Amino acid sequence: MGSGLEYEAKKLEARMSECEEAFGKLRSKAEECSRALRELESGSIGPEELLSRLSEFLEVISEFEHELSHLYSSAASILAKLKMVE
């Protein structure tokens, strides 16, 4: 029976890999923001530099959310196919 579950398994693995990559970028930008906050506190950078890093952080949050939405869609697709298999 061609239920498409093998395809869904591969798609789920690919989506998870994309989420892991996006999360790695998110973690890196969060660490940069933490450093920037400390650097602003110590006076080694100005507010403009902190704002720039926060902007980059928000951008990667958006990218992570996008990849996470793909993962959610994959899960919903799997549920729909499981109902068809029953």
| 68's tokens | 């996470």
Check: CB of residue 86 under 8 Å from CB of residue 5. no
pLDDT for 62:
98
What tokens does 48 get? 């403009």
pLDDT of residue 84: 77
| C-alpha–C-alpha distance, residues 65 and 59, integer Å | 10
Residue 1, pLDDT above cutoff 70: no
Write 31-38 long-range contacts (CB < 8 A, 24+).
32/56, 32/57, 33/57
pLDDT tens for each residue of 28-79:
999 999 999 999 999 999 999 999 999 999 999 999 999 999 999 999 999 9
